[in-house]
């Protein structure tokens, strides 16, 4: 049996245990996802911020481009989040200084959003479309949701950032567990206290693999075949890569963002709450630096507050105010097509593991 065949590839019915990470924010286009799945891996839609119609449309596009399995990723909302009016006004004031710099005329106000309803509607589409794989981050869905997904034959993936969270996910009924090391780009998937979810992959993967019986998917800092082979030695059965797919031709990342990734070095990535109120790793810029020490709103309120700022910055091609999520392996990113990247990953791992 070659390196690529294991109980995870059997369960998912895919050729290679290589996942393109779900990445919310428009980067995981149907083209990116389907190219990954057509190359034998698993493409995943970052659907956390998408409404149900958008998700349905993308699922249908993916299905027109591939008959292979793919995944949809959702954020489990924490509905108890609130902030005092004074805190909100203070943040509105802090951000207004940046919005006027970007030429936004209207005063920045916190938009009202109903994340509970959004999540319910997202789930409805996942059920209706019988999506092959559904992954979750930021929380664990309740048992009714897990039951319904099981009924549909949907494979459930949970994101853990320490051993206790991995065990929680296994107990809740996850089929696969993503162990997200602190090298990872984007938001931490931590379920509880943020400081408890900052373990590096080298230490996290073997400890999670020892603690759970379900297959473990390593995420964080894997950019090439060496990373895959190393994570395999540490006990992972699957490998989820995010940053390296952002600079693929088929990714929907803004060219300014792609360019920032292609030119960044590992020490330039920082963990910041400045954009969203939740810890996330990205390339440092004026916004992450100047917001340090500010009293931020909790997630998702801070994220909602900075949304128009980020949008305008992207429109004006102004990277200093964009969230440039990227992992610590950023120096290894290159401009490439999905097919080329998948071939490099697969052939490189084969050479390292199977000695071919
Ligand atoms: C731009 C970006 C957006 C992300 N969005 C999500 C998301 O919506 N859901 C999720 O579970 N993980 C998300 N992640 C985390 C990835 O699933 C994965 O853990 C990470 O990319 C792995 O580390 P790497 O970037 O070093 O490969 C995101 C990562 C990036 C870089």
**What average pLDDT does the segment 50-75 reach?**
98
Ligand 1 atom, smallest distance to 220 CA: 23
- Average pLDDT, whole number, for the chain? 97
Ligand 1 atom, smallest distance to 282 CA: 31
Distance of CA 243 from the midpoint of ligand 1 (Å): 7
* 41 C-beta closer than 6 A to ligand 1: no
| Domain regions of the chain by residue span | 7-354
Distance of CA 100 from the midpoint of ligand 1 (Å): 31
Give CA–CA dist 133/238, Å, rounded.
14
Please tell me the predicted confidence (pLDDT) of residue 108.
84
For 55, the token pair is 């998700």
Residue 350 pLDDT greater than 90, yes or no: yes
* 327 C-beta closer than 6 A to ligand 1: yes
Please tell me the predicted confidence (pLDDT) of residue 121.
98
Give CA–CA dist 83/296, Å, rounded.
10
Give tens-digit pLDDT for 74-88. Answer: 999 999 999 999 999
Please tell me the predicted confidence (pLDDT) of residue 356.
76
Please tell me the predicted confidence (pLDDT) of residue 206.
99
7-354 — its CATH code? Answer: 3.20.20.70
Q: Report whether 262 contacts 274 (CB < 8 A).
A: no
**What average pLDDT does the segment 302-309 reach?**
97
* 241 C-beta closer than 6 A to ligand 1: yes
* 181 C-beta closer than 6 A to ligand 1: no
Query: Ligand 1, residues 19, 20, 23, 73: which to mutate, most atoms within 8 A of Cβ?
Result: 23
- The residue nearest atom 7 of ligand 1, judged by CA position, is 23
pLDDT confidence band for 162 (50 / 70 / 90): very high
Please tell me the predicted confidence (pLDDT) of residue 208.
99
Give tens-digit pLDDT for 93-131. Answer: 999 999 999 999 888 889 999 999 999 999 999 999 999
* 24 C-beta closer than 6 A to ligand 1: yes
Please tell me the predicted confidence (pLDDT) of residue 106.
86
pLDDT confidence band for 284 (50 / 70 / 90): very high
* 243 C-beta closer than 6 A to ligand 1: yes
Residue by residue, DSSP assigns 102-118 as TT--SPP-PPP--HHHH
Give CA–CA dist 31/35, Å, rounded.
6
Residue 273 pLDDT greater than 90, yes or no: yes
* 18 C-beta closer than 6 A to ligand 1: no
* 242 C-beta closer than 6 A to ligand 1: yes
Distance of CA 187 from the midpoint of ligand 1 (Å): 7
Please tell me the predicted confidence (pLDDT) of residue 109.
86
Q: Report whether 249 contacts 31 (CB < 8 A).
A: no
pTM confidence score: 0.98
Please tell me the predicted confidence (pLDDT) of residue 50.
98
Residue 198 pLDDT greater than 80, yes or no: yes
Residue 3 pLDDT greater than 90, yes or no: yes
pLDDT confidence band for 263 (50 / 70 / 90): very high
Residue 153 pLDDT greater than 90, yes or no: yes
């Amino acid at each position: 049996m070659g390196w690529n065949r294991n109980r995870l590839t059997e369960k998912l019915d895919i050729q290679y245990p290589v996942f393109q990470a779900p990445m919310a924010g428009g980067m995981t286009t149907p083209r990116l996802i389907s190219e990954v799945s057509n190359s034998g891996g698993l493409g995943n839609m970052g659907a956390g911020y998408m409404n149900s119609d958008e998700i349905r449309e993308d699922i249908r596009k993916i299905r027109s481009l591939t008959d292979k399995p793919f995944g949809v990723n959702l954020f489990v909302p924490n509905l108890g989040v609130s902030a005092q009016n004074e805190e909100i006004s203070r943040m509105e004031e802090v951000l207004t200084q940046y919005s006027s710099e970007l030429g936004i005329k209207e005063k920045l106000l916190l938009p009202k959003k109903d994340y509970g309803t959004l999540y319910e509607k997202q789930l409805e589409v996942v059920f209706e479309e019988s999506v092959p794989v559904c992954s979750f981050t930021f929380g664990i869905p309740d048992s009714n949701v897990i039951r319904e997904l099981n009924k549909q034959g949907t494979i459930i993936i949970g994101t853990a950032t320490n051993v206790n969270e991995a065990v929680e996910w296994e107990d809740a009924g996850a089929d696969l567990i993503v162990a997200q090391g602190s090298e990872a780009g984007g938001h931490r998937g931590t379920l509880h206290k943020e400081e408890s979810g900052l373990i590096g992959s080298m230490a996290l993967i073997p400890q999670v693999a020892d603690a759970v019986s379900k297959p473990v998917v390593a995420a964080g800092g894997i950019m090439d075949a060496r990373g895959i082979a190393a994570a395999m030695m540490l006990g992972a059965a699957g490998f989820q890569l995010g940053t390296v797919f952002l600079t693929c031709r088929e990714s929907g990342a803004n060219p300014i963002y792609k360019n920032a990734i292609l030119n960044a070095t590992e020490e330039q990535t920082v963990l910041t709450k400045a954009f969203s109120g939740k810890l996330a790793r990205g390339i440092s810029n004026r916004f992450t630096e100047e917001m340090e020490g500010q009293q931020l709103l909790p997630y998702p309120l801070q994220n909602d507050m900075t949304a128009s700022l980020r949008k305008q910055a992207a429109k004006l091609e102004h990277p200093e105010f964009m969230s440039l999520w990227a992992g610590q392996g950023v120096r290894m990113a290159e401009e490439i097509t999905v097919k080329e990247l998948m071939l490099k990953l697969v052939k490189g791992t084969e050479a390292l593991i199977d000695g071919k």
